[in-house]
């Protein structure tokens, strides 16, 4: 009899506790959800500036692992928060898709990628090809910033696929990201070798901001040295050097005047990223030339040598 009473007592206590927990959840769940929305509201309003109410979508499926948050812009559409791996660091951004199935908003929230290359996914040259596209249309990647832009497009595609699934929109896959072949490299080019010594580059401008000096350098490439093009011009590079740490901060190809589709591959961040953090006091520093564009690659190394000021 005592066992029966004890069992009944425990059952009552358990039921009461469960009821109390449910009541607490009923009260606290909306508060927690509202706090979560509040932390993202500023970002969501960048995507849907005219929306008054946002709701968190807790239950969603994403096979890509790129979607980190889903939100309903009540009456207007859906917003997706994504994180992808850029060339140097993760990129966090939001995409808003209107109820009509067109992308209405795109905003990069966090990026720390190669200046002048990976960070171009924040500029109009990229965003203009995102905003207004339907969830079944493709989005082109950026030449010279293929790694980061391909990653971002993959994230956008994940958001589009989720929206299409949620809204029963047929997608034949034709809007998937276009595969871009990886950059191929060939022989090494030493910064302080005969390859860069024989023809001097010209420093056009020089400006110092704190520890970092920025050099604008003209360096003759294939068009001037080999091709014999009429009115051939040198390539122009921007080289930034920290003269306190003696490290190269960045190298950007500002103007390419060599063969389109070949020499201009040197603009790619995969090539130029090799210069970052090289120690300018180390005479053995080198980079790998872009396959098929050795002379243009050497023109980049020659520009760096001129900025370092060895000659």
Neighbours of 280 (CB within 10 A): 21
Cα 9 to Cα 1, 13, 22: the distances in Å are 12, 6, 20
Q: What is the pLDDT of residues 246-276, one digit of tens each?
A: 999 999 999 999 887 788 889 998 999 999 9
Contact in structure between 36 and 53 (CB atoms under 8 Å): no
Percentage of residues of the chain with pLDDT beyond 90: 67
Question: Which residues lie closer than 8 Å to 18 by C-beta, 6 or more apart?
Answer: none
Q: Write out the two tokens for 286.
A: 């080198």
State the pLDDT confidence band at 172, using cuts at 50, 70 and 90: confident
Q: How many angstroms separate the most distant Cα atoms in the chain? A: 107
> 202-235 pLDDT, tens per residue?
999 999 999 999 999 999 999 898 877 778 999 9
170 pLDDT above the threshold of 90? no
Query: Which ranges in the chain belong to alpha helices (H)?
Result: 2-47, 124-127, 146-166, 194-197, 222, 269-272, 294-308
Predicted pLDDT of residue 15:
61
Among the ranges given (3-12, 66-75, 233-242, 255-264), the one the predictor scored with the smallest mean pLDDT = 3-12
Average pLDDT, the chain: 88
**Residue 310 binned pLDDT confidence (cut-offs 50, 70, 90):** low
- Residues 217 and 139: their CA atoms lie apart, in Å, by 34
Instruction: Supply the DSSP string of 14-42, one letter for each residue.
Output: HHHHHHHHHHHHHHHHHHHHHHHHHHHHH
Contact yes or no for 255/236 (Cβ under 8 A): yes
Sorted by where each begins, the domain ranges of the chain are 54-166, 185-308
Contact (Cβ atoms closer than 8 angstroms) between residue 294 and residue 187: yes
pLDDT digits (tens, 9 = 90+) for 128-157: 999 999 999 999 998 778 889 999 999 999
pLDDT classification of 91: cutoffs 50, 70, 90: very high
Candidate from 60-64, 182-186, 213-217 with smallest mean pLDDT? 182-186
Q: For the whole model, what pTM was predicted? A: 0.63
CB contact at 8 A, 99 and 166 = no
Residues 9-57 have pLDDT tens digits of 666 756 665 665 655 454 554 555 566 678 899 999 999 999 999 999 9
Name the pLDDT band for 1 (thresholds 50, 70, 90): low
């Amino acid at each position: 009899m005592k066992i029966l009473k004890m069992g009944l007592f425990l059952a009552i206590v358990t039921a009461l506790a469960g009821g109390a927990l449910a009541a607490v959840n009923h009260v606290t769940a909306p508060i927690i959800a509202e706090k979560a929305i509040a932390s993202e509201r500023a970002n969501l309003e960048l995507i849907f500036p005219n929306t008054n109410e946002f709701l968190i979508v807790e239950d969603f499926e994403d096979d890509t692992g790129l979607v980190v948050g889903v939100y309903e812009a009540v009456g207007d559409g859906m917003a997706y928060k994504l994180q992808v791996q850029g060339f140097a660091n993760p990129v966090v951004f939001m995409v808003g898709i209107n109820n009509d199935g067109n992308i209405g908003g795109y905003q990069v929230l966090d990026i720390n990628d190669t200046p002048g290359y990976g960070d171009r996914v924040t500029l109009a040259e990229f965003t203009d090809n995102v905003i207004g596209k339907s969830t079944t249309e493709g989005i082109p990647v950026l030449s010279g910033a293929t790694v980061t832009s391909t990653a971002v497009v993959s994230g956008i595609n994940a958001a589009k696929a989720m929206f299409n699934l949620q809204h029963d929109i047929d997608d034949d896959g034709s809007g998937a990201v276009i595969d871009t072949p990886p950059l191929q490299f060939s022989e090494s080019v030493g910064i302080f070798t005969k390859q860069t010594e024989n023809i001097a580059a010209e420093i056009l401008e020089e400006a110092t901001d704190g520890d970092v000096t920025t050099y604008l350098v003209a360096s003759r490439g294939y068009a001037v040295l080999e091709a014999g093009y009429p009115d051939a011009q040198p390539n122009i590079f921007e080289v930034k050097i920290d003269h306190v740490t003696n490290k190269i901060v960045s190298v950007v190809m500002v103007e390419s005047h060599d063969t389109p589709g070949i020499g201009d591959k040197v603009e790619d961040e995969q090539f130029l990223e090799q210069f970052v953090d090289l120690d300018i006091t180390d005479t053995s520093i080198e980079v790998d030339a872009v396959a098929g564009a050795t002379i243009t690659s050497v023109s980049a190394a020659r520009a760096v040598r001129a900025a370092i000021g060895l000659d």
